[in-house]
């Protein structure tokens, strides 16, 4: 099988460097280039040292400078503004896109949707296979237990810039979909003061920050007499990086369209 050519953006970030490090020792992939600041602190090769050797990976600021080959996949973990730009660029260069950027606005998501009319696009707030299964479980439980109160609690490291996490929103959207309701109509983000009795059908979403926690998410389905709790804890960013590479394997060569991690796992 021919190796899949990939370009990874955000190369000097936590996720970008993790993806490059795993891809460098995976014969499934050929790393064409990395996107980031060529003048950034530290050597990109030293960040990616694998088994005592350092892969020779060029780093560029612009996708055009990477000369993407046919069948190339862009794996993007950057910031919303940059991701929206890349959604336009992948159409220009006829590339598949795997985007794991969180904090996307509705306009950013519209840009991704527009790109999917021309190229294959997969957007996921969390590339963990476990989280993809958790979202599917949230959908099924919410459908089976429509009268149970649902609360979602997430906790991340102190440096995370958006709240609640994109994963918490994804889980809430899955639950709302299971109940055939709109998340916009049912979500409440934290509680404070005299809130009164909890309305039926409400989906509570709560964000905690502290320490170096990679990512904790907990679903709580509660009713009179019993409570069901399901949790997922990520202990390494390699979990997300491995999921992103699996998504890249899946999407390579696919026709234009909008794909999800449910498609990757065969759950759709």
Residue 249 CB-half CA count within 13 A? 17
Question: Which residues, including other chains, have CB under 8 Å from residue 49's CB and lie 6 or more apart?
Answer: none
CA 181, 216, 105, 36 torsion: positive or negative?
Answer: negative
Catalytic residues: 156, 160
Question: Which residues, including other chains, have CB under 8 Å from residue 247's CB and lie 6 or more apart?
Answer: 98, 122, 124, 127, 261, 264
Question: Which residues, including other chains, have CB under 8 Å from residue 99's CB and lie 6 or more apart?
Answer: 76, 77, 83, 86, 87, 112, 121, 122, 123, 124
Determine contact, residues 115/92, Cβ cutoff 8 Å.
Answer: no
Parallel/antiparallel/unpaired status of strands 96-99 and 257-259: unpaired
Q: What angle do CA 184, 157, 205 make, to 5 degrees?
A: 20
- Total Cβ atoms within 10 A of residue 179: 18
Written as six digits, the tokens of 54 are 């350092």
Q: Report the C-alpha gap between 138 and 135 in whole angstroms.
A: 5
Task: Give the Å distances, CA to CA, from 166 to 160, 205, 231.
Answer: 11, 11, 16
């Amino acid at each position: 099988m021919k190796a899949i050519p990939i370009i990874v953006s955000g190369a000097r970030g936590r996720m970008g460097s993790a993806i490059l490090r795993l891809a460098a020792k995976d014969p499934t992939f050929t790393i064409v280039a990395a996107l980031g600041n060529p003048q950034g602190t530290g050597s990109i090769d030293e960040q990616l040292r694998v088994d005592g050797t350092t892969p020779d990976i060029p780093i560029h600021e612009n996708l055009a400078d990477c000369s993407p080959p046919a069948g190339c996949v862009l794996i993007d973990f950057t910031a919303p503004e940059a991701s929206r730009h890349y959604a336009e660029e992948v159409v220009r260069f006829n590339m598949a896109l795997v985007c794991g950027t969180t904090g996307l606005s509705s306009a950013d998501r519209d840009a991704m949707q527009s790109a999917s009319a021309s190229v294959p696009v997969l957007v996921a707030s969390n590339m963990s296979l476990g989280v993809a299964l958790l979202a599917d479980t949230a959908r099924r439980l919410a459908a089976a237990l429509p009268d149970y109160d649902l609360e979602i609690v997430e906790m991340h490291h102190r440096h995370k810039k958006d709240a609640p996490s994109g994963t918490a929103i994804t889980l809430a959207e899955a639950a709302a979909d299971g109940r055939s309701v709109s998340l916009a109509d049912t979500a409440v983000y934290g509680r404070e003061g005299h809130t009164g009795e909890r309305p039926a059908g409400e989906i509570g979403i709560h964000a905690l920050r502290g320490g170096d926690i990679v990512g904790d998410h907990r679903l709580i389905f509660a009713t009179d007499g019993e409570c069901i709790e399901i949790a997922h804890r990520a202990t390494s960013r390699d979990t997300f990086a491995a999921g992103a590479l699996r998504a890249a394997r899946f999407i390579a060569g696919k026709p234009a369209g909008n794909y999800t991690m449910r498609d990757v796992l065969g759950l759709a």
